[in-house]
Amino acid sequence: MQSRIKKSSRYKVASFFAGIGGIDLGFENAGIETVYQCEIDKYCLNILNHHWPNIKRESDIKEVLENDNIPKAQIWSAGFPCQDVSLASARPRAGLRGERTGLFYEFAELLSRHLPRTILLENVPGLLNSHEGRDFAIVLQTLADIGYGVGWRVLNSRYFGVPQSRQRVYIVGCYNDPRRTSEILFEPECGTRHLEKSGRSGTKAVSPFMECAEDPGRNGRSKRVKKDDPIVPKLAFCLAATSGRHTGTDWSRTYIPYKSRVRRLTPEECERLQGFPTGWTIPDGLFASGDDIDGLRYKALGNAVSVPVAEWIGERIIRSLTVTQLD
């Protein structure tokens, strides 16, 4: 398979809780080579194997702890499970005591053994207030005790080139170098990605996610919006990790209304909303069929990290590591 890396590949990443490779693809777009992946979901493993067929891959982080045969990498990433801290859960949040989000501790144990220079963790904003903030404090304290200077920031995918409002908390740790964390996550001044562009004349905002369609009319001039003009989405809601089936309201947040019709987003549209190439989540071989494939694709994409956000962070990690080596 031809490499997707566009720039230098002097830096390498070991990816934990890799999902369908959102962080990995974003990092590779920035110039970081993926050398290791750990992911337990069988469908996601199929997708990872399709796009990275020649790298070391393991499934259960608990077994990784026992074998501990991880290739050397300056950077580690971990989109560790969010189910036990997510506000979308219908059950009480177990937080770090939960079976899935609690796998953070296994990751931390591996960190303490290998001490990569830079780490990136990603999770839902619910991590910040789980158990009144105590879980987030434990995450930060655990990383600090290992020796990492830690910084965090909530980033929204909508400011990185995809029309989806998707907030996630990104935690960066730099071993024995707290100064680099701020250089990676924060700019000296606000950039254009944090600002909304001024609306064009003739459009009327219905909500942050919807606006009236604009008719350019003759000579390219916009017509005045009328009361009954169609409303179309300007920005997608945050993609949820659901099957997207036509039952109840489980896909009601991922829809496109136009005139008198409403339809669900297609898996291909969800891929684009996350910054993946079209067809990224189509599995190899006879893994599933019909609606089963679509359900798996919707769920995996809802759990994924937006590629452009990972690419932006990856570029800044490379810059910080390069500057540090020159100092």
Instruction: Return the closest-CA partner of residue 264 out of 242, 293, 294, 244.
Output: 244
Which tokens hold the place of 1? 């398979």
Choose, from 44, 82, 212, 270, the residue flagged as catalytic: 82
| Separation between Cα atoms, residue 144 and residue 142, nearest integer Å | 5
Token pair for residue 298? 């919707």
Active site residue 238: no
Q: Which residues contact 199 (CB under 8 A, 6 or more apart)?
A: 205, 211
Residue 83 burial (10 A CB sphere; 0-12, 13-18, 19+):
middle
Distance CA 78, CA 305 (A): 10
How far apart, in Å, are the Cα atoms of 40 and each of 30, 63, 182, 199, 307? 26, 11, 32, 44, 20
- What residues are paired with 36 via a beta bridge? 14, 56
The Cα 186–Cα 19 span in angstroms is 26
Which residues belong to the active site?
82
